[in-house]
Structure 1
Amino acid sequence: MICDIHNVNYVMKLSQLDLNLFVVFDTIYAERNLTRAAEMLSVTQPAVSNALARLRAALGDPLFIRTGDGMAPTPYAESIAADVSEALQRLAASAQRAQAFDPARSNRVFRLSMTDAFDTLVLPKLFADLATSAPGIGLRSFRLPRADIPAALARGTLDIAAEVALPDAAGLIRRPLPPEPHVCGLRPGHPAARAPLTMERYLALDHIHVSGRQRGSGAVDIALRAVGLRRRIRVRLQHYLAVPALVMVSDLAVSLPESWARALGLTVLPLPFDVPPMQTWLYRHARSDGDAGVLWLFDRMAGATGAESQR
């Protein structure tokens, strides 16, 4: 009986806590870093630290231990993390269902993770659309590591992602966007652009390789390796935005999706070998089926790419 009374008192104590403290807990657990958690929550780091201190005092556990890599959850934090995340998800879903979504009047801020190509080429079209149809809607775009996207969509710290195929898409709803053929991009006036690009002439060029990863091959190199060939990579970049600064002042070549090459003002030549087109997908979690706002934006983002609506 004493144990039951203690349990009741504990539950009553939890029920009196500010729900925002558990939002902070869930975000710290996801980010493992107080600074990133503060950025995700749009608050200051001292505010996050203060919320964590209050929750530590209420639950009687440190919850997170500072390490060289950030904040590591304690065993107790690990034991409650899934329940906290699920409870917050259910509350958010209930709140969304209880409110009719009117894009013309909504001030909701949507959180998006997108490839740099989508961010640069599609986001301006999307925002131009929203400026007239949903002037109060806000967008927060940040690039999550590909492996972290499914969990972020499941937790609700991310609403929609535009990304290449994810390794683990369980529980996710995805829609294919128009595929992008790969081309060779050169500066205007490049000597190699004066004649058709043969395999021999392509391999004679010095190349830029663009990848968000520190190492590993891309689609172009995999296609070349399949026929026993390799190109000479002189520069490796993390994103395409740095490409023009190098290509326009050199004879470097870059193989990239065609829309990127044209947007960057490069001379476009067909590749002399077959490379699978770049396939990007829009992702949302199945839990967002009842969220009219996410469903609406999902369609708008697809429409900005030229993909047909499936609703």
Structure 2
Amino acid sequence: MNLADMDLNLLVVFHHLLRERRVSRVAQTLGLSQPAVSNALRRLRALLGDELFLRTPGGMEPTPYAQQLAAPLSQALDTLRDALNVRASFDPPTSTRCFTVAMSDVGETYFLPVLMDALARHSPGVTLRCVSVADPALREDMAQGRVDLALGSLPQLQAGFFQQALFRQPYLALMRQGHPLARRKQISAAQYRQAGHVRVIAAGTGHGRVDRALDQLGVTRQVQLTVSHYAALGHVLGSTNLLATVPERFAQRVTGPFQLLTRPLALPLPTSTIAQLWHAHLHRDPGHQWLRALVARHFGSEADFPAVEAASPP
């Protein structure tokens, strides 16, 4: 077909219908009426000679032809958006932009107090919206622009995304100040085995490497409690003789409020590298560049990690 016959706005509607699968949601996202979205779909059907979307109880399901168009059209729109945004301005003191950032509960504990203080002082109109790194749709959400930035140890995003390592941290034993092992300067392998433990399974992060390392070392813990996140550790450890193996930066945030302390481990556990990751379509966006610079300035260790790694093939 002749591109001169195509209205770019129709392709934008098509792109959002692929994501939302409902006319009402697309209308709300684009600031249009539902009849306007339906009319755009009718025009597009006529131009392309295909139904494109079929109504089902679960929403608008794309036809095989629509699915075939999805990837190249999305790439084309991303390219066009990048080209138009190259010279877009971003003024931090006056901006009211909302950035969506993916992080774990550890990340929220460590990053958010500093970031929110920095925004309040220098960019009071900028807001953050946090989502979980454990969301199975995170890769797609970042590729589609629904999530701007991800922070953490995130092996599922190593391929296909730009990344900048921020800092490296060891794992420590975290316990209450009156714990029987609190008098020790270091926790030996034997003491570690004999202690009662809280085990954290942090889905969507790389912290599972601790469990794998312990298995390889043949170190079996006496796990008395297993939790899916770090949020409850302060309360649990503060009132029991359990200990937890946690990343150093998380420990820094909770030792004071919960009267806890840390001890190094006489075990060769791996360190954790925390990075910020983003999709290529935001790489040159001025607002996004500002946000990444803000994160790097407050949390990065330029001596250890000076460069941004280019996006590798997915």
TM range (shorter): 0.7 to 0.9
1:182 aligns to 2:158 (yes or no):
no
Structure 1 residues 276-287: aligned runs within 5 Å: 276-287=270-281
Letter in 1 for 2:254: L
The residue number in structure 1 matching 2:124 is 135
Q: Does residue 114 of structure 2 align to residue 125 of structure 1?
A: yes
Cα deviation digits, residues 110-129 of structure 1 (max 9, x gap):
22112322222112212211
The CA deviation at 1:186 is: 0.9
* Change over 3 Å in CA distance of 1:218–1:194 after alignment to 2: same
1:245 has 2:235 as partner: yes
CA shift, 1:156, in A, is 2.3
Is the contact made by 2:88 and 2:286 (CA closer than 8 Å) also made in structure 1? no
Alignment gaps of 5+ in structure 2: 46-50, 309-314
Q: Does structure 1 retain, via aligned residues, the 8 Å contact 2:207–2:272?
A: no
Query: SS at the partner of 1:229?
Result: coil
Aligned partners of 1:26 and 1:85 also within 8 Å = no
Deviation string 1:234-254 (CA, Å, 9 cap, x unpaired) is 222221111122222222211
Q: Taking structure 1 as reference, are residues 165 and 142 closer, same or farther at Cα in structure 2, changes over 3 Å only? A: closer
Task: Name 2:48's counterpart in structure 1.
Answer: none
Amino acid at match of 1:234: Q
User: Could you report, residue by residue, the CA deviation over 1:236-280 in whole angstroms, capped at 9, with x for unpaired residues?
Assistant: 222111112222222221100122123222221111211111111
SS in 2 for 1:234: strand
When the two structures are aligned, how many residues end up with a matched partner?
290
Q: 1:252 to 1:101 in 2, by over 3 A?
A: same
Please show how residues 160-239 of structure 1 align to structure 2 within 5 Å: 160-167=149-156, 169-195=158-184, 196-213=186-203, 218-239=208-229
Q: Of residues 277, 288, 294 in structure 1, which corresponds to 2:288? A: 294
Q: Which amino acid aligns with 1:284?
A: W
CA distance in 1, matches of 2:190, 2:99: 48
2:88 is equivalent to residue 99 of structure 1? yes
2: CA distance, partners of 1:71 / 1:210: 40
* Separation of aligned partners in 1, 2:245 and 2:10: 54
Partner SS state of residue 281, structure 2:
helix
Residue 62 of structure 1 is aligned with which of 43, 50, 53? 53
Structure 1 residues 138-167: Cα deviation after superposition (integer angstroms, max 9, x where no partner): 222111437644443333222211131434
Distance (whole Å) between structure 2 residues aligned to residue 217 and residue 97 of structure 1: 37
Counterpart of 1:236 in 2: which secondary structure?
strand
Deviation at 1:185, TM superposition (A): 0.8
Q: What's the TM-score, normalizing by structure 2?
A: 0.77
Q: Does 1:256 align with 2:246?
A: yes
Summarize the Cα distance change of 1:212–1:52 in structure 2 as closer, same or farther, 3 Å threshold.
farther
Taking structure 1 as the reference length, the TM-score comes to 0.77
Deviations 1:81-114 (A, max 9, x none): 2133224323432342242222222222222112
For residues 213 and 36 of structure 2, what CA distance do their matches in structure 1 show?
A: 51
Partner of 1:3: none
Residue equivalent to 2:301: 307
Match of 1:267 among 261, 266, 289: 261
**How far apart in 2 are the matches of 1:205 and 1:48?**
62
Assess, with a 3 A threshold, how the Cα gap between structure 1 residues 90 and 252 changes in structure 2: closer, same or farther. Answer: same
1:24 matched to which residue of 2? 16
Instruction: Specify which structure has the bigger relative contact order, considering alpha-carbon pairs within 8 angstroms and separated by 6 or more residues.
Output: 2
Asked if the contact 1:104/1:133 (under 8 Å) is kept, the reply is: yes
Aligned match of 2:72 = 83
What is the identity percentage for the equivalent residue pairs of Structure 1 and Structure 2? 28
